[in-house]
Every structure is written in C-alpha cells, then in structure tokens.
Amino acid sequence: MTAVRMDWSLDEIEALFALPFNDLLFKAQQIHRENFNPNEVQVSTLLSIKTGACPEDCSYCSQSARNDTGLERERLLPLSEVIKSAQEAKDNGATRFCMGAAWRNPTDKSLNHVVDMVSAVREMGMETCVTLGMLSEPQAGRLKDAGLDYYNHNLDTSPEFYGEVITTRNYQDRLDTLSHVRDAGINVCAGGILGLGESPRDRARLLQELANMPKHPESVPINELVPIPGTPLANNKAIDAIDFVRCIAVARILMPCTYVRLSAGRTDMSDETQALCFFAGANSMFYGDRLLTTDNPTESSDAQLFSTLGLQAEKAASPATV
C-alpha cells in the first residue's frame, strides 16, 4: 500500500509531472486501485443558493460585482426550493448535495438560513457540502453542529500566482478558513483552477500546498477555467488536455486516499479527455447541467459516458471521516 505523505518537495512533484505520460498514468492508476474501486465515481450535485453581487474581485468569476457579466443578482433561495432541488438530485443518483453562496463571508444571520438547509438535506439521507466564502471559527462550529459533512474553499492556484488572480483577500485567509473547518471536524474540500495563466510550476505548487496540509483534503476539485465574457480572464487560452490529465494523475499520486473531482470545464472536454482523467485517478464529479452559473454536461450525456466507459455512480458516499 502506498504511504500517505504530507512532506512532498517541489522537486519531487515536478519530477512526477516530467514523467513520460504512460508511466505517469500507470503509476496513478496503480495507486488509485489500491484505494478505490476504479470503476466507481462519486456523484455530487451543486446548487447556487445565493447568486451574484459578491464583493470579491476574483478574475475568473461571473458572480463578482466588479465584473460586468450581465449576471442578475438573486436573493438567498427559500428552504423549500433547496429541498426540492436536493430531492431531484437524490432521485438522479447524487449522493452529496452541495450549496454555494456568492459571499465574501456569511453574516451570522445568513448562516442561520444555511444551517436550516444543511439540516434539512441531511435529514433526506444525503451528504452535505457548502461553499460560503471565508468562515470564522465559531461559524465553522455552527455548521458542524448542523451536520455539515464537507466545506468547500478552493485555494485556486499557487501562493506565488494568487495575487495575479485575486486581490481582495490573501492566500492566508483561505488557509485560515480551511483550518477552522478542519478544527471543527468537517471534511475539507479544496482544490484549484487550471488555465488562469499560471505556469507549470504554479500547478505543482498548488498541488504541493494541498498535499502538504496537516491532513489531505477529503475532496480535491480540479477545475478547468471556463472563460466568461466580462471577466478579466475571458480571453484566456484553454489548458492543453494532456497537461490537464497530468494534473489529475499527480494529484492522485500525492493524495492517494482523496476523492479527486473532475469539476468545472467538462462541457469543453471530449469524452476521450474525460476517460483519461478517470483513468488517471479522478473519481468524483458534478452531475446536472448547471454548476452555480456555468454549464455542465447534461445528465443524459453523462449517463452515456458512464455506459461507454463501464463506470457506475458510487451507491453511497463514504461517511465523514473526521
């Protein structure tokens, strides 16, 4: 069994990226098979519970109030609508329901409503995940008490490149939130976005930050930038598909027991690219034709892809491990 490490050097990680493609995928697939059923994929559904007017200046995001993307501001969804969406997700095979709100950080009043949502979805027998921006230590504790299973807060990119993408918060702010989440006993969901204009070394540094946390994140979403008109990154060139697959494989090697999620950007990926990602160790994905404000493959196209590849949705996600 491959040892779980939290002391990866940058040289070691860059050496993995430099392996011949076949050798890298073979190594990643071996590690994947040691820890997971290679033909099962954990399926989550993501719902935007509060859309638009975020005060952050994330260069990639349609929901930033500073980006003129034409996105309409929406209020926090009522509990009944969230429950309805969660039931539809469950009926379609999702085992985890994720809820995202476009906040820099939630107020305690807003958190009251989210706590009710978490409790209601948990009572339906689904795992719960939220992404609400930065959290204080007491807020993380409240979410834990409500039964929250996962908290998503992506690092986005390397510490060195971060300031080129976001200036309204710093890298340590993100690490502090993840620390509050972990200390509260909530599973951590943290990953990044590829195609922001970062260098290959930045990609290695992002994975190093994730892999060298005190405990590996239980879930690591790897997103491909979806260029959105009106954002500063609207004209960014797409990352090469083979380079993207390499990142999935290296993430699997560095974090053997983590769910590596194939996230945003799948609408622009061929079936062949996605198949390589699953072979490289991706074993989680979002299901449903919408990811917050961006498109996602339809349920029917994903069902066809699963059928073609002989994959099946994981029947029940692993229970919380912290």
Q: Which residues are catalytic?
A: 54, 58, 61, 98, 129, 189, 261
Beta carbons within 10 angstroms of residue 176's beta carbon: 17
**Nearest partner of 79 among 103, 125, 115, 129, judged by Cα:** 115
User: Distance between CA atoms of 195 and 224, rounded to whole angstroms?
Assistant: 6
Q: Rounded to whole angstroms, what are the CA distances from 311 to 9, 162, 267, 276, 278?
A: 34, 36, 19, 13, 9
Phi, psi of 121 (to 5 degrees): -70, -40
User: Distance between CA atoms of 70 and 109, rounded to whole angstroms?
Assistant: 28
User: Distance between CA atoms of 133 and 291, rounded to whole angstroms?
Assistant: 16
User: Distance between CA atoms of 273 and 268, rounded to whole angstroms?
Assistant: 10
